[in-house]
Amino acid sequence: MTENFDTIVCGGSLAGSAAAVTLARQGRSVLVLDKAEFPRTKLCGGLLTWKTVRLLDHLFGETPETLREQGIVKYVSDQYSIRSFTSTLAEGTLSYPFHLTDRVELDNRLLHLVRQAGAHVREGEEVVRCDPESGEVHLKDGRIFRGRYIIGADGAHSTVRASFPEVNLRAMRRFTAATIEVKIAAADYPEPVDRPILYIGFLDAGYGWVFPNGDHLLVGICGLRRRDTHFAKLFRTYLDVLGVDPAVITHQRGHPLPYGSFLHDPVHANAMLVGDAGGYVEPLFGEGIFYALCTGMYAGQAVAQGLKNGTAPGPEYLRRLHRTILPELNGSNTLRWFLFRAMKLFGSGAISRFVNLGAGPLGDMVHGKRSYHWLKKKDWDF
């Protein structure tokens, strides 16, 4: 027997939870399938910007205070530093703080709220294939579910995306960054860290980070792979320059990060892609949490509206994506090539001059109060 649902959401992380909660609250039957059992490990810096905090409240009713009470927000800071290996290039105070979270706990909490909203959530269920025409979703153990619509929220290695005939996977891979991140006890780090720090200038297109996260730090690098970049070796050099004793590193892991690979047409037949599956990550700083939540919500709202009116949801999802999300990603993409080129030509000092020219508006741009498109005031539609 094949079970039928209005929508099947493949992937129960941020993008999937945002889509599913939106549909479940409108009384639609939703099945969420995730191959992992939650809480599951998740490699991420966990940094939330102003727009993300607003969206989490809008979608899930979670605020910085409730997230802090649950131990999900681990650290709050309105300070930042941008450094090269030899000097501090820019630092200062922002108009709104960054909230640094535990992604394992955040994802677990949101999926719990999805379940509470009435969605069917099945963990430990791996999708191996789907058919966007018939709405069939095939699991590893041979079972098949059918949805009128399929939402692909299954991350950077998306299986749903593999069923889209027109997606150029080679082009997507070219603009997918490699990342490595480790967790270090704050006491084992050579200096106290009271703010998020970015390290630039040692990768053609990428950067490193040191983020405070409660009693430990998250230390990582991300960058587009060039043929001659040995990423693990580069990470060892990075740790060495930071003065980290290799003996304190217990687990070192990597994960792909969409970094300029966002799709303009993530709809095929009755399926659509959201979050990392569609490459929706801001291509300068690698912010993906907000874009996963926002594209998930748009897809959920488009499907709910389509089911109500008997119309196809794809055009509505594309309309909102093109109006609100893609201008940001395109603007950030242009800015990153400008900055990375300037750094190559004039050294890291170019960044120092650029940031110090307009630190306030640039900080507001990162938070989403202003747009990556000419720093205009940004209006979000939620």
Q: Is 269 left (phi over 0), alpha (psi -120 to 50) or beta?
A: left
Residue closer to ligand FAD, measured from CB, 232 or 309: 232
CB of 290 to ligand FAD, least distance (A): 6
Residue closer to ligand FAD, measured from CB, 286 or 306: 286
CB of 203 to ligand FAD, least distance (A): 14
Q: What is the distance between the alpha carbons of residues 274 and 281, in angstroms, rounded to a whole number?
A: 11
Residue closer to ligand FAD, measured from CB, 285 or 342: 285
Q: What is the distance between the alpha carbons of residues 288 and 18, in angstroms, rounded to a whole number?
A: 13
CB of 344 to ligand FAD, least distance (A): 24
Q: What is the distance between the alpha carbons of residues 198 and 312, in angstroms, rounded to a whole number?
A: 43
Residue closer to ligand FAD, measured from CB, 14 or 89: 14
CB of 18 to ligand FAD, least distance (A): 8
The residue sitting closest to ligand FAD, measured at its beta carbon, is 288
Residues forming contacts to ligand FAD in the complex (CB under 6 A) are 10-16, 33-36, 43-47, 126-127, 153-155, 159, 179, 181, 220, 255, 257, 275-276, 281, 286-290, 292
Which residues have CB under 8 Å from 136's CB, separation 6+?
A: 2, 130, 144, 145, 146
Residue closer to ligand FAD, measured from CB, 126 or 131: 126
Q: Please give the helix or strand (H or E) that residue 23 lies within, else none.
A: helix 14-25
Q: What is the distance between the alpha carbons of residues 38 and 72, in angstroms, rounded to a whole number?
A: 15
Q: What is the distance between the alpha carbons of residues 334 and 328, in angstroms, rounded to a whole number?
A: 10
Residue closer to ligand FAD, measured from CB, 155 or 283: 155
Residue closer to ligand FAD, measured from CB, 312 or 335: 335
CB of 24 to ligand FAD, least distance (A): 17
Burial 338-371 (b: 16+ CB within 10 A, else e): ebbebbeeeebebbbebbeeebeebbbbbbbbbb
How many residues belong to the chain? 382
Cβ pair 168, 244 in contact under 8 A: no
CB of 62 to ligand FAD, least distance (A): 16
CB of 64 to ligand FAD, least distance (A): 15
Residue 90 in tokens: 């820019």
| End-to-end CA gap in the chain | 39
Residue closer to ligand FAD, measured from CB, 296 or 350: 296
DSSP 356: H
Query: What is the CB neighbour count within 10 angstroms for residue 382?
Result: 14
Of 247, 178, 238, nearest to 208 by C-alpha is 238
SS3 state of residue 382: coil
CB of 8 to ligand FAD, least distance (A): 11
